[in-house]
């Protein structure tokens, strides 16, 4: 009898132990990040969750069985977190499937290519289980820019439009549309696109990329004698976003929010401007609060054949004292100062915090394309940075009087002059207040715009674009 009760209690202990292991995870938070590029659902927990997913095509929905938890109020919150205007998610349902397994069904508004992965604890986050839902049909951003521009200018000479011609070529390529079905980052075109349009600056001829010329490229150049028919595209890259808030000021201001507002102001100025009669268009690498991996930012700028790439940040230091704006360009060797190296290392961590699915093939391939930057690109970047720094210095304080250099991953487009602007130190209470003020944002956006115009006045984009 004694022995039997002992056995019984032993079994009970074992059972409890098993249950504890199976159901022990506590949900810390659930988040939904909607964006046209993709929508993300994050479940953050105190221990790693295992998930199995099934995609059902009609109507499109993703079912995910999450092991290691039971249905609880935190998970039920997900249902209410889906915004009506989420471009991809129609709704989320949760139910207890079996003990220790919760089934989550994501009803979708369109066909999607899901990526489900886990992230180890980093920064302020514990374990994260992430569902990234990429639409399989993607609107081509380059096409959108052209359409918008043709709408503005009427049907003026579309035949002489080199970008229009490139778009036509691209659309004629087999598989150029909607081929993100293998889980590639759908926002930027898959591997075939960047090469097919990497005709931009001729200054990079030495790096071999331009050796990959399309037969039509010289035709594009000679068919477009009318200088006024060149669309000048400036890629604006608001730093951070989504799971990655960037730096946070003492008053709670998030870097990702202030830089997006500043980017919108710069966009408005660019879209209202022209250079030597050439229409300008801004292209934002993100226009919502979602995570964009660093290499995707570069890839997006390349895809729209951006003439310039401007990454906007407002970073922090450990102490509140540092202040003033800085402008950075890429360095091929070491950083120009310890501070610049530190800043680059900090910015390059964005993918870790934002949550990159490192197992995705696409991420690996695209990252391998890094480090193809050329001296010509860096020299142009330094000129652009110098022009911008001079203008920022008229409206605010500068942290350093010259353009600094370090190995920023986001500045590595091999063919696009690229700078990273740290608009101010958000960690400095005064600068945090300025970053939040509409007045200062307006002044800063105007200064950045004058810097762009100053650069182009000395480095006309058309001259750079000629192949010989």
- Residues forming the site for Zn ion (CB under 5 A): 239, 246, 313, 315
Least distance to Zn ion from the beta carbon of 333, Å?
Answer: 23
Residue 283 Ramachandran class (φ > 0 left, ψ -120 to 50 alpha, else beta): beta
Least distance to Zn ion from the beta carbon of 256, Å?
Answer: 8
Does residue 325 contact residue 397 with C-beta atoms inside 8 Å?
yes
- The structure tokens 């660019």 sit at 270
| Alpha helical stretches, state H, 24-161 | 73-81, 141-153
Q: Which is nearer to Zn ion, 220 or 420 (CB)?
A: 420
Q: Which is nearer to Zn ion, 31 or 346 (CB)?
A: 346
Least distance to Zn ion from the beta carbon of 240, Å?
Answer: 6
Spatial CA neighbour of 128 closest among 200, 207, 189, 41: 41
Q: How far apart are CA 426 and CA 258, in angstroms?
A: 10
Least distance to Zn ion from the beta carbon of 315, Å?
Answer: 5
Residue 171 Ramachandran class (φ > 0 left, ψ -120 to 50 alpha, else beta): alpha
Q: Which is nearer to Zn ion, 246 or 355 (CB)?
A: 246
Q: How far apart are CA 309 and CA 222, in angstroms?
A: 26
Does residue 452 contact residue 234 with C-beta atoms inside 8 Å?
yes
Closest-approach residue to Zn ion (CB):
313
Q: Which is nearer to Zn ion, 68 or 355 (CB)?
A: 355
Interstrand relation of 404-406 and 326-330 (parallel, antiparallel or unpaired): parallel
Residue 302 token pair? 């390349």
Does residue 327 contact residue 419 with C-beta atoms inside 8 Å?
yes
Q: Which is nearer to Zn ion, 161 or 422 (CB)?
A: 422
Least distance to Zn ion from the beta carbon of 450, Å?
Answer: 23
Q: Which is nearer to Zn ion, 311 or 377 (CB)?
A: 311
Q: Which of helix, strand or coil describes residue 228?
A: helix
Q: How far apart are CA 411 and CA 417, in angstroms?
A: 8
Going by C-beta distance under 8 Å and a sequence separation of 6 or more, which residues neighbour residue 159?
165
Least distance to Zn ion from the beta carbon of 237, Å?
Answer: 10
Least distance to Zn ion from the beta carbon of 162, Å?
Answer: 34
Q: Which is nearer to Zn ion, 313 or 450 (CB)?
A: 313
Going by C-beta distance under 8 Å and a sequence separation of 6 or more, which residues neighbour residue 103?
63, 64, 65, 66, 94, 95, 96, 97
Q: How far apart are CA 265 and CA 311, in angstroms?
A: 14
Q: Which is nearer to Zn ion, 61 or 412 (CB)?
A: 412
Least distance to Zn ion from the beta carbon of 437, Å?
Answer: 20
Q: Which is nearer to Zn ion, 164 or 239 (CB)?
A: 239
Q: Which is nearer to Zn ion, 60 or 239 (CB)?
A: 239
Q: How far apart are CA 2 and CA 8, in angstroms?
A: 10
Q: Which is nearer to Zn ion, 194 or 246 (CB)?
A: 246
Q: How far apart are CA 205 and CA 63, in angstroms?
A: 49
Spatial CA neighbour of 58 closest among 119, 110, 14, 122: 110
**DSSP assignment, residue 122?**
B
Does residue 42 contact residue 243 with C-beta atoms inside 8 Å?
yes
Q: Which is nearer to Zn ion, 102 or 445 (CB)?
A: 445
Q: Which of helix, strand or coil describes residue 401?
A: coil
Least distance to Zn ion from the beta carbon of 133, Å?
Answer: 26
Does residue 43 contact residue 75 with C-beta atoms inside 8 Å?
yes
Least distance to Zn ion from the beta carbon of 426, Å?
Answer: 9
How deeply is 132 buried, as exposed, middle or buried, from its count of CB atoms within 10 A (0-12, 13-18, 19+)? buried
Least distance to Zn ion from the beta carbon of 313, Å?
Answer: 3
- Torsion sign (Cα): 291, 294, 300, 301: positive
Least distance to Zn ion from the beta carbon of 131, Å?
Answer: 26
């Amino acid at each position: 009898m004694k022995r039997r009760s002992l056995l019984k209690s032993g079994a009970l202990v074992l059972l409890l132990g098993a249950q504890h292991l199976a159901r022990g995870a506590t949900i810390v938070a659930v988040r939904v990040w909607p964006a046209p590029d993709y929508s993300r659902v994050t479940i953050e927990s105190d221990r790693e969750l295992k998930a199995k997913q099934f995609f059902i095509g009609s109507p499109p929905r993703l079912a995910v069985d999450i092991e290691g938890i039971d249905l609880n109020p935190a998970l039920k919150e997900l249902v209410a977190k889906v915004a009506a205007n989420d471009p991809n998610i129609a709704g989320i349902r949760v139910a207890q499937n079996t003990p220790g397994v919760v089934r989550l069904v994501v009803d979708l508004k369109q066909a999607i290519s899901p990526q489900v992965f886990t992230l180890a604890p980093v920064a302020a986050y514990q374990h994260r289980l992430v569902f990234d839902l990429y639409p399989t049909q993607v609107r081509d951003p380059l096409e959108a820019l052209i359409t918008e521009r043709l709408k503005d200018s009427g049907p003026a000479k579309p035949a002489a439009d080199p970008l229009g011609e490139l778009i036509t070529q691209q659309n004629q390529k087999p598989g150029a549309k909607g081929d993100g079905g293998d889980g590639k980052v759908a926002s930027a075109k898959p591997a075939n696109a960047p090469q097919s349009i990497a005709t931009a600056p001729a200054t990079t001829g030495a790096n071999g990329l331009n050796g990959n010329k399309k037969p039509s490229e010289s035709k594009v150049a000679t068919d477009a004698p009318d200088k006024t028919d060149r669309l000048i595209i400036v890629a604006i890259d608001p730093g951070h976003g989504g799971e990655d808030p960037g730096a946070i000021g003492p008053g709670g201001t998030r870097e990702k929010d202030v830089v997006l507002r500043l980017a919108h102001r710069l966009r408005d100025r660019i879209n209202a401007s022209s250079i030597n009669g050439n229409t300008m268009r801004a292209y934002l690498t993100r226009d919502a609060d979602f995570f964009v991996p660093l290499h995707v930012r570069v890839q997006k700028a390349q895809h729209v054949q951006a003439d310039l790439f401007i990454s906007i940040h407002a970073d922090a230091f450990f102490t509140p004292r540092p202040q003033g704006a800085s402008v950075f360009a890429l360095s091929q060797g070491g950083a120009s100062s310890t501070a610049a190296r530190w800043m680059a290392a900090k910015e390059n961590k964005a993918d870790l915090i934002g949550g990159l699915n490192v197992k995705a093939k696409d991420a690996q391939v695209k990252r391998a394309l890094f480090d193809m930057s050329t001296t010509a690109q860096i020299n142009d970047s330094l000129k652009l940075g110098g022009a911008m720094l001079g203008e920022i210095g008229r409206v605010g304080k500068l942290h350093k009087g010259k353009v600094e250099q370090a190995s920023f991953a986001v500045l590595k487009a091999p063919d696009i002059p690229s700078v990273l602007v740290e608009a101010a130190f958000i960690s400095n209470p005064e600068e945090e207040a300025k970053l939040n003020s509409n007045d200062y944002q307006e002044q800063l956006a105007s200064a950045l715009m004058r810097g762009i115009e100053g650069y182009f006045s000395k480095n006309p984009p058309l001259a750079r674009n000629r192949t010989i």
